[in-house]
Amino acid sequence: MIITKAGRRMFPAMRVKISGLDPRQQYYVAMDVIPLDNKRYRYVYHSSKWMAAGNADSPVPPRVYVHPDSLASGETWMRQVISFDKLKLTNNELDDQGHIILHSMHKYQPRVHVIQKERGEELSHVRAVPQGDGTRTLSFPETVFTTVTAYQNQQITKLKIDRNPFAKGFRDSGRNRMGLEALVESYGFWRPSLRSLMFEDIPGMKQGDKLMLMSIMILVSLTPVCL
């Protein structure tokens, strides 16, 4: 998972579906990221493996990402897929934007927290998640990731760039077709429909403008982007 000084969105993003809440109770939903172990790692190219390379760096300031839909009722949370696509990761220990601060070349485990609203209690992104009967913490082994400032494996680089809609700036335009068709194909799993917008469709378009504008291709999304 790429981390940067300015902050980089996680891709793929965490998405969860929650059940079993009290429909009338108010809840926060939040996420934090904790070290998987106390090791630092390096990538061994000749064997294409990650290997431990010493002790972990000193702990970073704890951060919690509070889902922007918080507070919401249990009924609201249970009827939607909860996405953490706005969460950003950084290696800037002085970050003041509320991003999750991590060390590069370490392994981490994301955790999702469902926190019942208590009277007078506010959840903060710079304080530890409150513990107790009103908090449920969920984690999934398959979401463990290793942080990097640059991809170490060319196959991972290609997979991420091809599949991440926000990574189009990293694609090698010299070896790929340019224009709208190349952009659509690069999304792979998300292909919006295309249609031609002719001059007859444009209000106020004069006949004399036909020589200047034969047609305009526009990208029309019929469904929202799901990461």
Q: What is the DSSP string of 40-104?
A: EEEEETTTTEEEEEEEPPPPPPP--EE-TT-SEEHHHHHTS-EE-TT-EEE--TT--S-PEE--T
| Residue range 129-150: mean pLDDT, rounded | 89
How far is Cα 32 from Cα 183, in angstroms, rounded to an integer? 34
How far is Cα 61 from Cα 93, in angstroms, rounded to an integer? 7
What is the structure's pLDDT at 205? 52
How far is Cα 66 from Cα 88, in angstroms, rounded to an integer? 12
Give residue 137's pLDDT band: very low, low, confident or very high (50, 70, 90): very high
Taking all residues of the chain, what is their mean pLDDT, rounded to a whole number? 77
Encoded tokens for 209:
């403008």
Q: Going by DSSP bridges, is the β-strand pair 88-90/100-101 parallel, antiparallel, or unpaired?
A: parallel
Q: What percent of the chain has pLDDT over 70?
A: 71
How far is Cα 54 from Cα 161, in angstroms, rounded to an integer? 30
CB 116 within 8 A of CB 143: no
pLDDT one-digit tens code per residue, 157-201: 788 778 777 665 555 544 443 344 344 444 443 444 444 444 444
pLDDT one-digit tens code per residue, 32-89: 999 999 999 998 888 888 999 999 999 888 899 999 999 999 999 999 999 999 999 9
For the chain, which domains are there? 8-152 (2.60.40.820), 170-220 (no CATH)
pLDDT one-digit tens code per residue, 40-50: 999 888 888 89
0.85 exceeded by pTM: no
Which of 116, 105, 7 lies closest to 71, judged by CA? 116
CB 68 within 8 A of CB 80: no
Q: Is the pLDDT of residue 225 over 50?
A: no
Q: What percent of the chain has pLDDT over 90?
A: 47
For 108, counting Cβ atoms within 10 Å of its Cβ (0-12 exposed, 13-18 middle, 19+ buried), the class is: buried
